[in-house]
Chain A
Amino acid sequence: MSEGKSARVLVVTSGKGGVGKTTSTAALGAALAHLGEKVVVVDFDVGLRNLDLMLGAERRVVFDLINVINGVAKLQQALIRDKRLENLYLLPASQTRDKEALTEEGVAKVIAELRTKFDWIVCDSPAGIERGATLAMRHADAAIIVTNPEVSSVRDSDRIIGLLDSKTEKAERGEYVEKHLLITRYHPWRAARGEMLSIEDVLEILSIPLLGIIPESEEVLRASNVGSPVTLNAALSPPARAYFEATRRLKGEDIPMHVPNESRGILNKLFGRKAA
């Protein structure tokens, strides 16, 4: 067992649902593990867990975060490990409807224990701004704000940024919580036609640094069908490349940002879809 580590805690959050938090948690977690980091991804979506399914670990879940908090299970009994990527672990959420069981002290204890055993803790936040979301961000050193280039998503992200600056431990200590914008489900051709908010628009409105731009891609759907993060299942695909670049930026590397270009896929090209 690798004691004596001191993990960096990330929260993947957004306010709005369906923007790609769970997809991104799985993809970034797998990418970090692939780059040699020891990673645990933690599902905070109590009652609606999905990270296990995205990772293909659903058959293996015995215990969950709330069992560990309640003392029903030890942390090492609840963790499940990926056989494809030895450094990648999952701490599943509970399917219980009793969200009260997720206590602030309990979460603090689990995160403190995880910190000594991993290099990275990646917390997948539930949608909304309630307890689950605030507990997921509570101990974060840095936040990844997942945003779609679309008005309601940008508005909710702005709200979440406010919470990060008030409800986290770091904020309460008067420290700054690092924030990174991850734009997902980006449609290059819609942006090109001016049908979708541009990257510049979103950056100007939210004014936090950009971590990456993940294009809309059927590889993401395929990866979720087979239960494997896209960075593992289709490592060379455009969304996986974008996730890998984002991961290296998280690790402090300085690499140029690629705006996904207008590759419309072979079918669209064949049928020569024209800009409207």
Chain B
Amino acid sequence: MNLLSMFRRGSAPLARERLQILLAHERDAFDQPDLLGILREEILAVISRHVSFDPEKVQITMDRGKTVSTLAVDIEIPNRRRSSGPMRPYTRLMFEADAATARSQWTNGLV
């Protein structure tokens, strides 16, 4: 939805599109198990079998789209080797379903 078409057609088409996306996801959520939730749990379980990480240093980002949704799991893992220098105090694991996330104006997490 670009600005020009918004001027021409008002804001209702955007409202309609946002609602369609949201409701499709919400109806799914009531009908079937939450796929992204399951993926999130299992990814974290697999990683915690191999390395220990601070649960507070896990950032999960989601973007529910019309045709694709993305789930990004960003985990900060302390390096095992000592003194790896000031530049790399930890390793970061990132899983992203789709790098081209986010038309959304919002993002997850606290800074």
Contacts and interface: CB of A to CB of B under 8 A. Distances in A.
Interface of A: 1, 53, 55-63, 74-77, 79-84, 89-90, 95, 117, 221-222, 224-228
B15 interface: yes
B52 interface: no
A62 B15 CA distance: 21
Contacts of A61: 62
B29 A95 contact: yes
Which of B10, B11, B12, B21 has most chain A Cβ within 10 Å? Answer: B11
A58 B22 contact: yes
Contact of A77 (B12, B18, B60, B104): B60
13 contacts: A57-B104, A60-B62, A60-B63, A62-B60, A62-B62, A77-B58, A81-B111, A84-B105, A221-B11, A224-B15, A226-B6, A226-B14, A226-B15
Contacts of B22: 53, 58-59
Nearest to B110: A76
A89 B107 CA distance: 9
Contacts of B60: 62-63, 77
B56 interface: yes
Contact of A83 (B21, B63, B107): B107
Contact of B59 (A77, A224, A225): A77
A55 B106 CA distance: 9
Given A76-B56, A95-B29, A82 B18 contact: no
A95 B23 CA distance: 12
A73 B60 CA distance: 10
A168 B61 CA distance: 35
B84 interface: no
Summarize B's interface: helix, strand, loop or mixed: mixed
Interface string B1-24: 000001000111011001001100
Nearest to B14: A226
B110 A75 contact: yes
A59 B111 contact: no
A76 B76 CA distance: 14
Contacts of A77: 58-60, 108-109
B31 interface: no
Most buried by B among A1, A53, A55, A226: A226
A231 to B, nearest CB: 15
Contact of B106 (A63, A82, A95, A224): A82
A213 to B, nearest CB: 25
Interface in B5-57: 6, 10-12, 14-15, 18, 21-22, 26, 29, 55-56
Given A74-B56, A81-B106, A225 B111 contact: no
A75 B110 CA distance: 9
A79 B56 contact: no
B109 A81 contact: yes
A118 to B, nearest CB: 10
B78 interface: no
A82 B108 contact: no
A90 B104 CA distance: 14
Given A222-B11, A225-B14, A80 B106 contact: yes
Contacts of B55: 74
